[in-house]
Amino acid sequence: MHANDNETKPVTNKWFFSLYIGFFAGLFWGGLKIVQHYFHFTSLSPAFLIEPFYRHSYLMTWQGTLLGWGAYILFSIAAAILYTLLLAKAKGPWYGLGYGLVWWAVLYLFIGPLTSMMDRITLLGWNTILTDCSLFLLWGLFIGYSISFEFTDERIREPFDNKRNQPTPH
């Protein structure tokens, strides 16, 4: 029995939490997208999500890059809310990895080429495909595992040391 069993655990507001996770997912992984583009690991602009709405020359400026980063943050917030609706109770990291892969496939195979957000995948090049797919896998893992960990309470499965009031080392 845990020392805090008589206390009730504060309930996390799942909508605020998903906004929080989505914001930081977009901030961190969108920032990494900028770094990837700067070092030419990918040919897609960091603002690729808003490519259909702005001139490409503007999106290649620092203002366009910041606007694209903001779009990536908003996209991540929406994706985190959707994950919360569909998979908040899913346990483990695999659902998050799959979620990121599904988003990559939807954007790079369907929506991107149809909206002129990007060229068809056969024209992108292996560096871009692998770099961006890896980014989306990690992005999905971050969103999925963060949300699932919070709402499935994986921490209670850890053995607990009452003397030190902390989980026991394995």
pLDDT at residue 1, rounded to an integer: 46
pTM more than 0.95:
no
Domain count within the chain: 1
Q: Does a structural domain hold residue 36? A: yes
Distances in whole angstroms, Cα of residue 169 to Cα of each of 45, 99, 156, 163: 45, 31, 14, 13
User: 103-161 pLDDT, tens per residue?
Assistant: 999 999 999 999 999 999 999 999 999 999 999 999 999 999 999 988 886 556 555 55
Q: Does a structural domain hold residue 162? A: no
Distance of alpha carbon 118 from alpha carbon 48, whole angstroms: 7
Q: Does a structural domain hold residue 143? A: yes
User: 94-111 pLDDT, tens per residue?
Assistant: 999 999 999 999 999 999
pLDDT at residue 77, rounded to an integer: 98
Query: What does the chain come to in residues?
Result: 170
Q: Does a structural domain hold residue 145? A: yes
Q: Does a structural domain hold residue 165? A: no
User: 3-57 pLDDT, tens per residue?
Assistant: 455 556 677 888 999 999 999 999 999 999 999 999 999 999 999 999 999 999 9
Q: Does a structural domain hold residue 132? A: yes
Q: Does a structural domain hold residue 5? A: no
The range of the structural domain enclosing residue 146 comes to 14-154
Q: Does a structural domain hold residue 41? A: yes
pLDDT at 162 exceeding the cut of 70: no
